[in-house]
Amino acid sequence: MQPLIFKEILSVTMILFAIIDILGAIPVIIEMRQRAGHIESEKASVAVLVLMVAFLFVGNELLDIIGLD
């Protein structure tokens, strides 16, 4: 049972890394800091949490609407 859990965790981590694209977001974050100054990380974290929870509940329906599996 343990190797299966590790395999699933690794798979999810790889998928999230590809979606989030941390390295690709660095230039965007630098540009935002130059234009806006201070980035309010608390507000950004709350906004991301709300988006993730929303997609948790409506993500499958949204994918069905646009015809993706």
Domains of the chain, by residue range, sit at: 1-38, 39-69
Task: Write out pLDDT tens, residues 3-60.
Answer: 678 888 888 888 777 777 778 888 888 888 888 888 788 888 898 889 889 988 998 8
Tell me what pLDDT residue 21 has: 79
Residue whose entry in the numeric block shows the structure tokens 């974050």: 29
Q: Which amino acid is at 38?
A: H
Residue 69 has pLDDT above 80, yes or no: no
Both structure tokens of 49: 């949490």
pTM: 0.51
